[in-house]
Amino acid sequence: MALMNEVNRLDLQSLIDWMVFRQGVEGGFQGRTNKLVDGCYSFWQGGVAAILQRLCLDAVDCESSFGSDHDESVVCSSSDGEDHLDGTSSHSDEVIHLGEGGAGPEHDGAVEPVNLSDISYDFISGQHASRTPLFDSIGLQRYIILCSQHVDGGGFRDKPGKPRDHYHTCYCLSGLSISQYIWAKDFNTPPFPGHVLGPYSNNLVERIHPLFNIVIDRYYEARQFFSSA
């Protein structure tokens, strides 16, 4: 929905409420209620948290007000009283309306169309949330490294006792990246050592783009390639 600029269709507060209760006492995430935690949901749920944190700079004060016929917008207010909107930092002084048709910022009453190709870039630009993450990031790293990692042969798995596979290896590593960088103020800032479980130089993984689940350097390369086509 973020990629389509249709965040206004989501009940963000209900989504946050549902997501935060998917983290189990083991530190990992479950896919739905009454299920065991599974390593792959480190990204499927942790990635949601990263997206929500970027969309709404202060989730506690996040309000979804798209029930009105005349004003469909998502307003997220930070703790300092400033209004932040859908995570597109290039329009920080404008009102972003996320109504039907992917409408964009208003200029003197006129609504400009949103350039959908810029949404993913705007998403990672500018300053990120300064509030505490929506989940226990160290707890998630602990589950991934100690429980999902196959110590003898490498790779990652659902949980102890399960075989390793490429699927879980991919999404466990992605979740590990999300949990390490979730505290960073922007995409150019590495995490502090205290936000990375274990030896910093050994355990720190590369950053991913939470909307695409690809390493951030590859995202920039792909964007440059398709922009020049």
Which tens digit of pLDDT belongs to each residue from 105-125? 444 555 456 666 688 888 888
Q: CB of 30 within 8 A of CB of 82?
A: no
The values of phi and psi at residue 216, to 5°, are -60, -35
pLDDT attached to residue 95? 32
Whether 175 has a pLDDT exceeding 70, the answer reads yes
| 95 vs 102, higher pLDDT | 102
Whether 45 has a pLDDT exceeding 60, the answer reads yes
Whether 21 has a pLDDT exceeding 60, the answer reads yes
pLDDT band at 228 (very low <50, low <70, confident <90, very high): confident
Query: Residue 154 contacts by C-beta under 8 Å, 6 or more apart in sequence?
Result: 164
| 128 vs 84, higher pLDDT | 128
Could you tell me where the beta strands, DSSP code E, fall in 78-222? Answer: 83-84, 103-107, 110-113, 156-157, 164-165, 208-209, 214-215
pLDDT > 70: what percent of the chain? 70
Whether 57 has a pLDDT exceeding 50, the answer reads yes
**Mean of per-residue pLDDT scores for the chain:** 79
Model pTM score: 0.76
As assigned by CATH, the class of the 10-61+118-228 domain is mainly alpha
pLDDT band at 62 (very low <50, low <70, confident <90, very high): low
pLDDT band at 161 (very low <50, low <70, confident <90, very high): very high
pLDDT band at 188 (very low <50, low <70, confident <90, very high): confident
139 to 3, 46, 147, 212: CA distances (angstroms): 29, 12, 11, 24
Rounded Cα gap, residues 148 and 40, in angstroms: 9
To which residue do tokens 């959908």 refer? Answer: 116
